[in-house]
Amino acid sequence: MAFELPPLPYAYEALQPSMSAETLHFHHDKHHQAYVDALNKLLPGSGFEGKSLEEIIKASYGKNPGIFNNAGQHFNHSHFWPWMKQGGGGKKLSGKLAAMIDKDLGGFDKFRTDFIEAGKTQFGSGWCWLSLKDGKLEITKTPNGENPLVHGGWPLLGCDVWEHSYYIDYRNLRPKYLETWFDTLVNWEHVEEMLDKAPK
């Protein structure tokens, strides 16, 4: 079964002014589609076909960079769209998640600062993450299409810091993009769904 581009869970205009319809058209329709197409082209005969996306990411890490990067980016973007919503951001998270952030990350404000800092300091293309590892929350950053799955973690929230995610709206101002993204777009409901789905 070939992988498919999931539709955006909102209208292209829904995230304005934080993220423009133009950015979403390019990022979703062109960039994400290209990862899906490349993955489907590389899979036949690779030994990875028939596996789940998560299995392909873990099995191809360090072994097949073409499949790994495209599978990783398909996973990352499939969650990136629902990790955002109109009127998101701020502290609208559940008591359970808030308590975990207090315990493991020194409170919400420190979590916000450290998450944004991870995105700012990821040199070149990549992602910054909130993930669950060994029952604890952690903040990390990864290059290119990599994600916490290959480091024994489970991603709860990730922000795309490739230039294609912000250059149309923010030009070179990655910190401004990260702050706006965190404060106005984060869909905490999808973060909580990921927490519920975390492998036990």
Minimum gap (Å) between residue 164 Cβ and Mn ion: 5
Give the Cα separation of 108 and 104 in Å (integer).
10
Among 164, 161, 150, CA closest to 69: 150
Cβ atoms 147, 75 nearer than 8 A: yes
Closer residue to Mn ion, CB minimum distance, 103 or 176: 176
* Sheet containing 136-143, strands listed edge to edge, beginning at the edge strand earlier in sequence: 136-143, 126-133, 154-160
Minimum gap (Å) between residue 109 Cβ and Mn ion: 27
Among 107, 105, 111, 1, CA closest to 52: 1
Taking the CB of residue 134, how many other CB atoms lie within 10 A of it?
7
Minimum gap (Å) between residue 94 Cβ and Mn ion: 27
Residues that bind Mn ion (CB under 5 A): 160, 162
Minimum gap (Å) between residue 62 Cβ and Mn ion: 22
Q: Which residue is nearest to Mn ion (CB)?
A: 160
Closer residue to Mn ion, CB minimum distance, 146 or 160: 160
